Amino acid sequence: MTKTAIAALMSFSLGAATAASAQAPAPGGQPAEKPASKPAAEAGAAGPAAPKPSPELEALKFLAGKWTCESSVPAGAMGPGSPASTAKTTIAFKKDMGGFFYRGDFEMKAKTSPGMKGSVFLGHQPGANLFTLSAVDSMGGVELATSPGFQGDTLELTGEAFMMGQKMKVRETITKAGPKELVHKIAADSGKGFEPMGEDHCKR
């Protein structure tokens, strides 16, 4: 047998022995375990991209900061027989919830009607291309309203709310009246058409 043939035979035998060793049972009769594969994250697999705040929120940036408001409430707005009243309201807006909303925390103080605190969240849903308003207050009120967008300097939102224990339709308007001034109005419909519930004239 030639040297070349002997070398080839030795190489084949060594390779076969190595393969047999890799497949041989581990001590105790159990097959040797294969190395665990790396988790997808370690292997570099990318997950779904995190959502980002809608660029349309820029239209609401004028709200950021603290406002002081002169508020008026018409007769009957706080319940049958309630008198007309005036109040002082403060509200401070800032971006919140990862930048997805402008959050406004407000407090209304009045001499002839109950005071009230609450929070309002204004945002934009790109999937529906709608501005949204959601709010809760210390009198048990809950609200959700939407709007297709600004008409000039006014954003009008319509939706539903629970106020003073009743379910009703609501309409809110926010008007940018100047660089440091805004006007907010709210009306409600409990079955007789929209009636004014309150108005705020706010300044920085």
Q: What is the pLDDT of residue 115?
A: 84
Q: What is the pLDDT of residue 111?
A: 80
Selection from 200, 179, 178, 182 nearest residue 69 by Cα: 200
Contact 67, 204 (CB under 8 A): yes
> What local confidence, expressed as pLDDT, does residue 189 receive?
96
Per-residue pLDDT tens, the chain, 204 aa: give them. Answer: 444 433 333 343 434 444 444 444 444 555 555 555 555 445 456 789 999 999 999 999 999 999 999 999 998 887 778 889 999 999 999 999 999 999 999 999 988 777 899 999 999 999 999 999 999 999 999 999 999 999 999 999 999 999 988 999 999 999 999 989 999 999 999 898 999 999 999 999
CATH topology of domain 56-203: Lipocalin (2.40.128)
Amino acid at position 132, single letter = T
Domain coordinates of the chain in residue numbers? Answer: 56-203
Handedness of CA 173, 154, 125, 99 (dihedral sign): negative
Please give the pLDDT value at position 175.
Answer: 98
pLDDT of 35: 52
Print burial letters for 169-187: b (CB count within 10 Å at least 16), e (below 16).
bbbbbbbbeeeeebbbbbb
